Amino acid sequence: MSRILLIDDDARTRDLVKAILEAGGYTVSVAPDGESGINAALGAPGPDLIVTDLNMRGTNGWDVVRRLRAEPDCEKLPILALSAYTTAQDRDEAFDAGVTAYENKPVDRERLLAKVAELLR
């Protein structure tokens, strides 16, 4: 069973996305902010996939991705950004930071599960 780390500072979104992923058969751990997300990603055992919000207080999602990409164990780890930001510039910035995929909020259950399955292949 694949392990997913979900990083989001909004409890309602975090609970919703966690429930969707668990219903899809995944083991999900959560981090309520960027710093704890980085620590969890670097811990053992590490996740098979990270799903992160971009707009978080403190260490935001772009910083999370950049810092993880600088770690040898996380260079190729799939990272899915979930964000309310919808412009092409926002998406480009996320990909420049190192995300593997990008999905907009609000979360569409079927689309999220399909994207996660694709990233874990």
Q: How many domains does the chain have?
A: 1
Question: Average pLDDT, stretch 98-109?
Answer: 95
pLDDT at 94: 94
Residues 74 and 41 sit within 8 Å (Cβ to Cβ): yes
pLDDT at 91: 92
Convert the pLDDT of each residue in 1-13 to its tens digit. Answer: 899 999 999 999 9
pLDDT at 17: 98
DSSP tag of 10: -
Which domain CATH number covers 21? 3.40.50.2300
User: What domain range is 77 assigned to?
Assistant: 3-120
pTM metric for this prediction? 0.96
Structure tokens at 87: 């412009």
Convert the pLDDT of each residue in 39-93 to its tens digit. Answer: 999 998 999 999 999 999 999 999 999 999 999 999 999 999 999 988 899 999 9
Angstrom CA distances, 77 to 1, 5, 57, 73, 94, stand at 16, 11, 24, 8, 15
pLDDT at 83: 92
